[in-house]
Every structure is written in C-alpha cells, then in structure tokens.
Amino acid sequence: MPIQYSEELRLFRLATPNTAYFFHINEGGFLIHDYYGEILPMCDLRSASARIGKASFSPRSADLTTVPETAPQEYSCNGTGDYRISALQIRESRGNAATDIRYVSHKVYPGKPAIQGQPATYGTDEETTTLEVLTEDGVTGARITLYYTVFEQQDAISRRVKAENNSEKVMDLERIYSLCVEIPFGNWELGHLYGSWAKERTFERKEIPHGITAIESKRGSSSHHHNPFAAIVDKNTSEDTGAAYGFNLVYSSNFSIQVEKDYDGDLRLIMGINPTDFGWRLEPGEAFETPEGIMVFSKDGLGGMSRIFHKLYRNNLCRGPWKTKKRPLLINNWEGTYFNFDEEKIFNIAKDAGELGVEMLVLDDGWFGACNNDKAGLGDWFVNEEKLKGGLSNLSERIHGLGMKFGLWFEPEMINPDSDLFRAHPDWCLQVENRPMSIGRTQYVLDMSREDVRDYLFKCMDDILNTAQIEYVKWDFNRNLTEVASFLLPAERQKEMFHRYVLGVYDLLDRLMTAHPDLLLEGCSGGGGRFDPAMLYYSPQIWTSDDTDAMERLDIQYGTSICYPTSAISSHVSVCPNHQTKRTVPLRTRGDVALAGSFGYELDMTKMSEAEKEEVREQVKEYHKYYDVIHFGDLYRVIPPNGEECAWIYVSEDKSEALLTFVCIRNHPQIRRTVHFRGLDPNKNYADEQGTVLPGSAWMNIGVNYPKSMADGTTFKVYLSEIQ
Ligand code: GLA
C-alpha cells in the first residue's frame, strides 16, 4: 500500500519500495512531520517526532495544542509562532501576514493529476498514487491543499501545493513553497550545483552551518549559477553507501531552496518559487498552484540517489516519442561556422558528415532576418534568403536528399533592438515605463506573459516548421531578465511577472509540441543556463554547456549527472585547440567524453583530415553499439573527476552489458590504476572485447588495470557483455 492512513492514530504513511514518509494530524489539527528515510512499516511514530528542550521563548498556539516552533511542521507557516523558515506567508486584506493552517480533510486516489499550465512528472494509475490533504486558515479563509504523489516502483515522491481564496476578501500570496521537509539532527552536509556560463553545475558538498543557507536564482531562469537541486547527505555518505536525500524543483524561473539548521542541529528544508520578486494576488474564488518538487532518498549513497532521479526523469518526466526513440546522431554548425555560412557551406558540411554516418544537420544561429552577427534580426523569424538561397525548404530538401534529417535553432523569447519586430512593437519587451532597458548580448527580452506576443511567436515557428521538413528544434535563451514588468498588468499584479513570464514560456512550448508532436526539442540557454526538470519535460535533451573542451566537460557532465540522466546531457565533439579553453585533447578522448551524453559533432567536417574522418567512422560505430547501455543503463560514477583521473560505468537494467570509460587526466609514471566494475550480476559471466570471460563478481572485486603508459588526456574503455 503506497499510501496508508490510520484513523486511530490520524497518521499517514507514504511508502516507495525502499523509503517511507510519515506525518500525523495532532489534536489541534496541525500537520506534524514524523519521518522520512529508509522504509519502515506502519507504526506509531508520533512520540518520536516530539522534540524536547526548546520551549523557552517559543509561544504556544492559542488552543495550546502545539508549540509551532518546536514541532516538526509538515508545511510551515509565518507569523504564528514558528520562527524558522516559512513555506507559507499570506497577507490578508487587513494587511497582516499571520498564517495558521489546520487539517480539514484528505483523499487518496490512483494516478497523478496534472498541474494546470505547468510541466510536471506524470504516471499511470498503476504507477502512481496521490494523497491530497486539505487545510484551512479559519480566520482568513485561505485553503491550502498539499499534494503528495508516490511513484510506486521508484523511490520518489512528488509534492506541490494549491492555495485557494475561500473568502469574500482579496489576499496576497507572499511565499508559497512547493515543499517543506524536516530532518532531525545528524552529521548532515549540503550538496548543490553551482557554476557560471561555460562552467555549469559544479558539485559542491559542505557541512551545513547553523542558520539559514540558501541556494537561489532571481535571474528569471533556473540559471548557470545555481541549479534548483539540493542534496542532504551524511558526512560519511560516499558514491556507493550512506544516506542521501535529493530535492529538485520542476521549475525554470526564480527558485529558492533554503535549509535552516537550528541550535539543536535539526534541519528544515523548503523548496519552491523564490519569494524575492514574487507575489500573487488571489481575488475571492481564485486559486494558485505551485510548481512541483521531487524528493528522493537512497541509502546507497549519491550514486543511488542519482539513479533514482535518472530513472524517474527518463520514464516519468520526459515525454513524446523521443523519450524512448533513438536520437539522431547530429552535427551542429555553430562552432564550425558561427554566423559565417551560406547554403553551400551548410550543405557541404552535411554531405561530408552524412558520408561518415552522421544522421542529422542542425543549422544554428544566423539563418533569419537581417542576422549576420548577434546584433540584429532576433524576433524576425523569416529566413534570410541572401544567405540561404531558395530558403529553408530548399536546404532541407537537399539535406534530406542525403538521407539526413534537418534541425533548426530558434531563440523565441528574445528580440534585437535592430529588428523589424522591435520597430513595430517596442512595447512587447519587458520594461518599466520611463526606465532605460538593460541590454544583454545586444538583446531585449519579450514579454512572454502577453498572449499577443506568444501568438506571434507561435505563428512564426509554426509557419517555418510547416514550410520545410524540420525534425528538430534547438530552443535557446541567451540572457537573464531585467526590468521585469508588463504594460498589461495593474501595479498590484506586477509582482506576478516573473512567474507569469515562465508560464508564458511553458504555454508556447506546449502549443508548439502539441502542433508538432514528433519534433525533437533540445533546450539551451547559453549552454546549460536552463538545465532543469521543467525544461526536460518539453525537451528530452539540453545543451549542457558552451564549453565543449573534453577535460572541462568531465566536471560539467559529472555535476549534471548528479540529478539529470545521461540521455538529457547533450554533448558534442568539437575541434582542437578548443575554442573556449585553447586546450588540445585527442579526438578519441573527445568522442569518449561526448559519448556519455546525447552525442553529436560541432565542427566543420569539410576541414577534417582522412585520419580524423576514420576516427569519426569508429566513433559512429561505437555510438550505435553502446547507445542502449548509455542511454537507458544505470550510471556508476566510479571515479569522480579529481584532476588526475575520472571513470564511469553504465550497466544495462537487465545487467547483460556494461561499458566502463576511464580517463587519464594527468599521467604519473609507475602508478598502477585499477577500476572496479559496479552493478553487475555477480553470478553472470561477462566477456570483454578481447575475449576474457569472468564472473561479474570477479570484474567487480578484482577490477581492471590500465596501461601505465597512458598519456595525459587519453581514454580507455572496457565493454562487457553477458555470456550465456
Ligand atoms: C548560445 C548556445 C550556442 C549557440 C549560440 C548561438 O550560446 O549555447 O550553442 O547556439 O547561442 O548564438
């Protein structure tokens, strides 16, 4: 039973195969959190959650049924005695923000309801069970529903919240987080992913200090700088063992993850929309739904936690035919030509690539309007026939004539001041009247909360997709938001703009994917500036970073894999010296690193030597051979990149094949390097490509030694397949 309720104890138990989550309703109707972690049977945990020794200066609720600050709260409220971080704060019509919600009713049902206008995980009635707990603030009439969906085959629980104004007066939501979790004291560390452009998702793990630690974005996107992800891990947790909680918000805009450690060492974590620059007015009868937060727990370390996210996102977040269909091996012209191309140039790249086995050409930035650099044309989504004679349909036909597919770059949310669109509709940009507009990469941002703007963009994109055969769209987003205001909203609703903006983006994505359900979409934001689960719902792969240097990619792809699956991590082979780092790395290594993702090339193949082309043919063969184990297998990060070496292993779900990749980052003479397989069936026999046959137990316990003579930046792979 994934969700149980004991009438007698007024206690809920949510269970996945290996985890359990408990909370109860106390005599005053407060929802008190009891436990989250390794699976436990239904049992009376109510007394275990009572905390002692924290009562001084902590007021009691008026009905004396709880001390809000000392009781672990299922969903913490502001202004009525809980001084720790609040998940909920509602300013009522009388101007105060005291909030106090109590249990009203609950229901449990199979399946998982969608969130109106927002991306979320999904599951059939067999895969998922949902609990809705309705609560109410008896004074203001705010009705708050807490949603919990249990993924029965996976150790994941999704949560979200709905607020309804059940009163005659207006009220303003000031904070409405998607989830709140209480974790009792321990030796906890916080893991998170920070970075910048070309250096996204660096994994950092630190002891949690007393006070409040915040991981947030207020850039109007999930951002390069912080990812909407946090892990709480024991200080002894490793890749393979130990407790690891993971939290990830399905949201692409301003998010906030806060962790408060109180003087006893107890933790509270809240995750949701960042309250900075947020507010939402609820008129009587109106409702608001938060984005969804995902929680996972594993006792098998960070690796176990990551594998739960990977499986959940592959099966229950990514959607459409491409979540299971093999992705075309592509070549993108960006680093090969930048803006400097014409139809012949693109066709010739496609032709050479096609001869080596590449299956799709993606035409990047610069094909539209008066665009010859990043200073003009964004917004004018009409083909530039001076560059592409005969237009996109002609180019697409010629590329299809080579037996290849064709993909195209768009940056729908942006507009150059030097564009026909801006000249016609200057009011379509985000801006504050009488305040100069900040500019980034010579572009302004369109007001995506406006329906007329979205209608225009949809029509342009739909027309382009209907006039030429285009199987793939790369959706880019190359700056962060400023002066976030809309001409169409009254002053009291301007605080809704960041959220309305992203709802507009979701709406356009949804319309596009509904009109073109077979389209393969790749997300992008100056590399991986919007690499989050909400984007994965629409685009099963995301351009991971503008840094294509294989050595840098080891860190970036390692960090990204902490919660995102390999199939989502777009990864391309580019030229050397690398354009971002000037580093030279062997082509074989560039291929082996890019293989740990959605693979492709990003260079001018017409400039490759015969020897390089031969290497590409080899890589294409490997792409096909290893595709299933890499895209659908379990990932084991056996040696996280450490400046010296790095290794990872994929094992197929049925444990019939495995691929190990080892990278020698920096060689040392006389050092023996051994890597142990993980995740194999100890009792099955596996053969490597040289014909050595050993049981899984031997491959895991004895491991594989590597040649001492490996040069810096070279790789070594071992592929095992089961021998019956
Ligand atoms: C961003 C993307 C690149 C490329 C350029 C085009 O930086 O990340 O891959 O598409 O825009 O301008």
Token look-up 């050092």 returns 671
Identify which of 472, 475, 546, 553 to mutate to test ligand 1's pocket (most ligand atoms within 8 A of the CB).
546
Tokens of 304: 């176990």
- 321-632: CATH architecture: Alpha-Beta Barrel (3.20)
Q: How confident is the model at residue 673 (pLDDT cuts 50, 70, 90)?
A: confident
Q: How far is the CA of 326 from the centre of ligand 1 (A)?
A: 24
- The per-residue pLDDT for range 361-403, each reduced to its tens digit, is 999 999 999 988 889 999 999 999 999 999 999 999 999 999 9
Tokens of 207: 């002891």
Per-domain boundaries in the chain: 3-50+65-316, 321-632, 645-723
Residue with CA nearest ligand 1 atom 1: 526
Instruction: Judge if the beta carbon of residue 200 lies within 6 A of ligand 1.
Output: no
Torsion of CA 147, 150, 156, 161, to 10 degrees: 0
Q: What is the pLDDT of residue 672?
A: 73
- The per-residue pLDDT for range 245-302, each reduced to its tens digit, is 999 999 999 999 999 999 889 999 999 999 999 999 999 999 999 999 999 999 999 9
Tokens of 51: 């905390």
Torsion of CA 355, 361, 365, 366, to 10 degrees: 70
> Looking at beta carbons, which pairs linking 625-628 to residues 24 or more positions away fall under 8 Å?
625/719, 626/595, 626/650, 626/659, 626/719, 627/326, 628/652, 628/657
What average pLDDT does the segment 496-508 reach?
Answer: 98
Question: Rounded CA gap, 322 and 520, in Å?
Answer: 6
Tokens of 488: 């169409």
**What is the CATH code of the structural domain delimited by 3-50+65-316?**
2.70.98.60
Q: Give the distance, in angstroms, between the CA of residue 188 and the centroid of all CA atoms in the same chain.
A: 24
Token look-up 């050409």 returns 361
Q: What is the pLDDT of residue 346?
A: 98
Q: Is 137 helix (H, G, I), strand (E, B) or coil?
A: coil
The amino acid that residue 426 corresponds to is P
Instruction: Judge if the beta carbon of residue 476 lies within 6 A of ligand 1.
Output: yes
Q: How far is the CA of 176 from the centre of ligand 1 (A)?
A: 34
599, pLDDT greater than 90: yes
Q: How far is the CA of 546 from the centre of ligand 1 (A)?
A: 7
Q: Compute CA distances 60 → 56, 77, 79, 141, 230, whole Å.
A: 10, 14, 12, 22, 32
- The per-residue pLDDT for range 460-477, each reduced to its tens digit, is 999 999 999 999 999 999
Cβ contacts of 510 within 8 Å, gap of 6 or more: 117, 538
Identify which of 200, 332, 334 to mutate to test ligand 1's pocket (most ligand atoms within 8 A of the CB).
334
Instruction: Judge if the beta carbon of residue 364 lies within 6 A of ligand 1.
Output: yes
Instruction: Judge if the beta carbon of residue 544 lies within 6 A of ligand 1.
Output: no
Question: Rounded CA gap, 353 and 616, in Å?
Answer: 9
Q: What is the pLDDT of residue 644?
A: 93
Atom in ligand 1 nearest the alpha carbon of residue 524: 8
Catalytic residues: 476, 546
Instruction: Single out the residue of 216, 211, 212, 201 nearest to residue 256, CA to CA.
Output: 216
Identify which of 476, 535, 574 to mutate to test ligand 1's pocket (most ligand atoms within 8 A of the CB).
476
Instruction: Judge if the beta carbon of residue 546 lies within 6 A of ligand 1.
Output: yes
Measured N-to-C along each axis, helices 550-561 and 587-594 cross at an angle, to the nearest 10 degrees, of 10
Q: Cβ distance 79 to 90 under 8 Å? A: no
Q: How far is the CA of 410 from the centre of ligand 1 (A)?
A: 10
154, pLDDT greater than 90: yes
Phi, then psi, of 520 in degrees rounded to 5: -95, 120
Q: What is the pLDDT of residue 50?
A: 67
Instruction: Judge if the beta carbon of residue 443 lies within 6 A of ligand 1.
Output: no
- Average pLDDT value over all residues in the chain: 96
**What is the CATH code of the structural domain delimited by 645-723?**
2.60.40.1180
Instruction: Judge if the beta carbon of residue 409 lies within 6 A of ligand 1.
Output: yes
Q: What is the pLDDT of residue 52?
A: 54
Q: How confident is the model at residue 10 (pLDDT cuts 50, 70, 90)?
A: very high
- The per-residue pLDDT for range 43-73, each reduced to its tens digit, is 999 887 766 556 678 899 999 999 998 899 9
Residue with CA nearest ligand 1 atom 3: 526
Instruction: Judge if the beta carbon of residue 640 lies within 6 A of ligand 1.
Output: no
Instruction: Judge if the beta carbon of residue 365 lies within 6 A of ligand 1.
Output: yes
Q: How far is the CA of 279 from the centre of ligand 1 (A)?
A: 33
Cis peptide before 577 (omega within 30 of 0): yes
- % pLDDT > 70, the chain: 99
Rounded (5°) CA angle 696-700-703: 120
What average pLDDT does the segment 505-525 reach?
Answer: 98
502, pLDDT greater than 90: yes
